[in-house]
Amino acid sequence: MTGNLYRGQAGLPFSSSLRIYEPLEAFPPEQQRQLVAEGSKAGSRAAIENAELQASLGRITRSGGDPFPTGRTDLVRMTRVPGGRHAAGSATAANKEDHDAGRLLYCPSQLVIRAGLAANALMDGVHSPLADLLIPVSQRDKHQIRIDRINAGEDAKRVHTRASTWGIPFSWFSLFTESDRKDVVESEGRILTVRVWTPITEALDRARFAVAHLALAAPDLDMLDDLTQLTEWLELFHVQSMVELDYGAVADKVYPDESPMDVRLGIECLAEGDMTGAAAAYRRLASRWIPIRQLARAS
């Protein structure tokens, strides 16, 4: 069942994520110990994705009407990057890799914080009357206590994961290029996901380039606001972090994907006043992603 959940996501909406992986020294000391402990228990990446999905399904059917994660445990994703030295005093014997093996970077799931943000967004959206029925005030107040407890002990301003359903925001693609490292995860002839990686310094340079050009060429474009917020978010993290775009199950529908190139070309064409080229880049993006987004309205 677990494997089937990971492959098919149990018929759930396509979900994609943008994640930041930071070095251990970027976290407060107490959280460092928690990350090392949770990371040492973590299995394969597929096992982590399955565990997160199963936990979310379990919360939906939980008795008592509380759909929020409790925070008793928090899944931790890790990746290893070549080279680099650990900051003095920031690592224990359990995570002191030698120089050749590279260093570990950590991305905590922060489910309690993210669930609270998602609930707030739902309450502020067009479906707020329905949200009142789905998430009673008593449960929201109870969850706020969990959030306050976390805020007291951690730097909760740095939310390491952004999620999107039924497609990937075009602004996310501006952070990546075709030459970035890719991990294509396949099973039984299907693409389970594609993960694209880039150093945060590269992602920031690309985001700032896009913001500067769109501000001059297309200041009314919604994507400019998205990119501005994305840049401000990236600036919160450690300079030696990595950025991961995880396509999720939608990868099987769109990969191989040239969206990063199309977004870059579209922005460059706008900056040069080439409206024909910009329109062509947008048409390629739309033909690839609009059918995916329409699935959200399918019965």
**pLDDT tens over the chain, length 299 residues:** 344 444 444 467 899 999 999 999 999 998 899 999 988 887 889 889 888 887 666 566 666 656 666 656 678 999 999 865 443 334 444 444 444 568 999 999 887 777 655 655 555 554 556 655 566 666 665 556 555 565 655 555 689 999 999 999 999 999 999 999 999 999 999 999 999 999 999 999 999 999 999 999 999 999 999 999 999 999 999 999 999 999 999 999 999 999 999 999 999 999 999 999 999 999 999 999 999 999 887 75
How many other C-beta atoms lie within 10 A of the C-beta of residue 106?
A: 25
What letters, b where the CB count within 10 A reaches 16 and e where it falls short, cover 224-256? bebbbebbebbeebbebbbbbbbbbbbbbbbee
Give the residue among 57, 56, 23 at the shortest CA–CA distance from 39.
23
The alpha helices in 179-221, defined as continuous H runs, are: 200-217
What is the residue type of 64?
A: G
Q: What is the pLDDT of residue 150?
A: 58
Cα 274 to chain centroid distance, Å, stands at 32
Give the residue among 248, 241, 251, 249 at the shortest CA–CA distance from 107.
241
pTM of the entire predicted model: 0.82
Q: What is the pLDDT of residue 90?
A: 40
Q: What is the pLDDT of residue 245?
A: 98
**Do residues 259 and 168 make contact, with C-beta atoms less than 8 angstroms apart?**
yes
Q: Kindly state the tokens that stand for 15.
A: 């979900």
Q: Given the structure tokens 């650990």, which residue do they identify? A: 86
For the chain, the straight-line distance linking the first and the last C-alpha, in angstroms and rounded, comes to 25
Q: Given the structure tokens 């730097």, which residue do they identify? A: 155
